[in-house]
Amino acid sequence: MEVKVMQDILGQNDAVAGALRQHLAAAGVYTLNLLGSPGAGKTSLLERTLAVLSGEMRIAVIEGDLFTTKDADRIAKTGVSVVQINTSGGCHLDAPMVEKALTDERLKIPGIDLLIIENVGNLVCPAEFDVGEDEKAVVLSVTEGNDKPMKYPLIFKESALTVINKVDLAPYTDFDVAAAREDIQTIHPGALVLPLSCRTGEGVEDWFAWLRARVKAKREGAGKDD
């Protein structure tokens, strides 16, 4: 019975997500679903990213949060369009929530090149819910420990890219970046792993380059040339 209910929920979610993906693709928008634990540095990574890329492309952000607007307030300070989704305690975003957020006129979807959806901080169920994104990326910080990829394999399997954040703190922890890379690539052969530090800026250029390439490919696919 419970399995059946869960299948129905995921089936309805996937139908909405599929329609969203078509809508976003037609508008030439590359959409990234950004995942990770609370405190991994998802919002810090966005702040770094927007400071550089918002001068090169049109970006919008959807912020998922349990109750507050703290992250959306941080994003709004960068001048990028941001819409907040409060899940009222719900531990993940789903496609109908994103569909509703996209009706907000601040997002102006036909004029956007890159849409980043910061999911609720959680390594478990956000991995199961398609929200209409092109790809998922997960932020793992060195302070979380080396055991996380093997303990939460689905999120690493689903994510095209793992950002290993806070590498400046690695010397003060037992975290082994090479071992984490190996575990992630065992779970997800071909996945890209980018160690970086939002605090010092080390490695962030590789992340920007990855995003630029994604956005460019999407725009060319949609025949956008502006």
Residue from 29, 71, 136, 139 that binds Mg ion (CB under 5 A)?
Answer: 71
User: In sequence order, what E strands does 4-110 have?
Assistant: 30-36, 59-65, 81-86
Site for Mg ion contains 122 (CB under 5 A): no
Contact 175, 146 (CB under 8 A): yes
For the beta sheet containing 192-195, the strands, ordered from the edge strand earlier in sequence to the opposite edge, are: 81-86, 59-65, 114-118, 30-36, 135-141, 159-165, 192-195
**Which of 28/64 has CB closer to Zn ion?**
64
If we measure between CA atoms, which residue out of 58, 52, 70 comes closest to residue 30? 58
Residue from 91, 154, 169, 177 that binds Zn ion (CB under 5 A)?
Answer: 91
DSSP 81: E
42 contact, one of Zn ion, Mg ion, none, CB 5-8 Å limit per kind: Mg ion
DSSP 122: B
From residue 40 to residue 79, what is the string marking binding to Zn ion with x (rule CB under 5 A)?
----------------------------------------
Closest separation in Å from C-beta 49 to Mg ion: 13
Strand partners, 83: 62
31 contact, one of Mg ion, Zn ion, none, CB 5-8 Å limit per kind: none
Q: What residues between 92 and 151 interact with Zn ion by CB under 5 A?
A: 92, 125
**Which of 91/222 has CB closer to Zn ion?**
91
Binding residues with Mg ion: total (CB under 5 A): 3
Site for Mg ion contains 92 (CB under 5 A): no
Site for Mg ion contains 148 (CB under 5 A): no
If we measure between CA atoms, which residue out of 56, 42, 63 comes closest to residue 114? 56
User: Which residue ranges make up the site for Mg ion (CB under 5 A)?
Assistant: 42-43, 71
